[in-house]
Amino acid sequence: MIDADGFSYRDGMLHCGTISLTEIAARVGTPTYVYNLDSVVQRYREHVTAFEGLRHHACFAVKANSSLPLLQMLARHGAGFDVNSRGELHRVLRAGADPARMTMTGVGKSHADITDGLDAGVALFNAESASECRLISDIAAEKQMTADVLLRLNPDVGTDTHPHISTGESSHKFGMTAGDIRSLAAQSAWLPGVRIRGLSFHLGSQIFSPEPYREALLLLITTLDDICGTLDIPDPVIDIGGGFGVAYNDEEQTLDLGLIAESIRSLLGSRAANFTILTEPGRSLVANAGVLVTAVEHEKPARDRIFLILDAGMNDLLRPALYAAQHDIVPLREPEGGQTTVFYDVVGPVCESADTFARRYPLPQLRRGDLVALLSAGAYGTSMSSTYNSRPLAAEVLVHGNAWMIGRERQQMEDLFRGEHLLTEPEAPRD
């Protein structure tokens, strides 16, 4: 996965474009996430190009990577955003994004989420239940506003992704059945604060086949045609979510978005021009644009294996522990021919055996202080990180052209206790 998104060895050291990752580590410390903004922009452009000919807008799924300068860069290139909470909304607003190009999704939107979304002028709410539609309507009506809403369809379509990140089956909490959508549309006169603008779905993440999209689209279009019988929807919107599979290693093959665009064209036929198509790509724009630079703390031989203990742990990059995800690992110093290969169990310092990045992973012999990069860490890396074991959040660096900047400072010790209180009553006397 090196090369494709701007990471490559130059003069024997791993670089992001022209910037040495070793130099970044020397200045900022480790663990540090490094994102290549040029690659993010390129992926965004490719995404938009794949849907050319359709009236299409891409709304980047902020949950995949919520680094402010990265969001800013996407906004500057015309991207819209899909926000899943008021926190994500305020982040993208801070990054200068246009609310008129935003969708707000989420299966449990709170009163505060909806209120902030309406106040900011978010273009569309993806509503996931009748209860939520009522809440949106009530809040909007009270403000004498009308909220534009897409109803999220649960198409009961399976995908062959990890069960934790599959979302389009009837056993999942997301969306509504076609039947529920039809009855909700029929009763929408009781929702004075809501204007139904179309339908949406999101099938899951890391999907490599266009087939589930086609199947879900078929049901979405039929359902939309049904509700158009009862409602007047002059400029209908179809939102197909995200989930577009990304290759994390040389065996996987990135999903061809052209095939999905083709399904949309063929299923809508001559009516295609009447529809606005939204996509919510997350991972596909950022996964391979980011790496996590980390240092070796210890090399620890055990009975039947050798552990390589890094200074990054599952709190920094949760995906291997949560989804058994595999991220390639490369040393920052390019391996020389003839060096012996050691098969390491690569682990973090957190007190859990799940804190394991790879088992029996071939690397050159490494020592304390040597640097390695965990690749394809740009999606759901920092955005899912935590301070578990009271470990400060990692720093984030962004590379753009021949320059780099710190997007987020490493957390300091005092940041870990901010907002916490100690006991205030005097210590009780001990007997």
Position 243 contacts ligand LLP (CB under 6 A): yes
Task: Report the nearest approach of ligand LLP to the CB of residue 342 (Å).
Answer: 28
What element of type H or E holds 358? strand 356-364
Classify strands 102-104 and 124-127 as parallel, antiparallel or unpaired.
parallel
Q: Which of 16, 133, 228, 351 is catalytic?
A: 351
Q: Which CB atom, from 319 or from 408, has the smaller least distance to ligand LLP?
A: 319
CA distances from 337 to 3, 12, 251, 342, 372 (A): 19, 12, 24, 14, 18
Q: Which CB atom, from 240 or from 309, has the smaller least distance to ligand LLP?
A: 240
**What residues pair up with 72 in beta bridges, in sequence order?**
none
- Site residues for ligand LLP, window 263-292 (CB under 6 A)? 280-284
Helix, strand, coil percent values for the chain (each to nearest 5): 35, 25, 40
Instruction: Say whether 351 is catalytic.
Output: yes
**What residues pair up with 276 in beta bridges, in sequence order?**
55, 237
CA distances from 345 to 286, 315, 353 (A): 27, 18, 11
**What residues pair up with 126 in beta bridges, in sequence order?**
150
Q: Which CB atom, from 72 or from 376, has the smaller least distance to ligand LLP?
A: 376
- Site residues for ligand LLP, window 81-110 (CB under 6 A)? 82, 105
Position 61 contacts ligand LLP (CB under 6 A): yes
Pick the binder of ligand LLP from 51, 244, 357, 404 (CB under 6 A): 244
Position 242 contacts ligand LLP (CB under 6 A): yes
- Site residues for ligand LLP, window 160-179 (CB under 6 A)? 165
State the Cα–Cα distance between residues 190 and 195, nearest whole angstrom: 11
Among 340-348, 368-376, 377-385, 406-414, which window interacts with ligand LLP (CB under 6 A)?
377-385
Tokens matching residue 223 = 């359902």
Among 140-148, 224-232, 242-250, 418-426, which window interacts with ligand LLP (CB under 6 A)?
242-250
DSSP 8-state code for residue 340: P
Residues with catalytic function: 351
Binding site for ligand LLP (CB under 6 A): 61, 63-64, 82, 105, 165, 202, 205-206, 241-244, 280-284, 319, 323, 379-380, 384
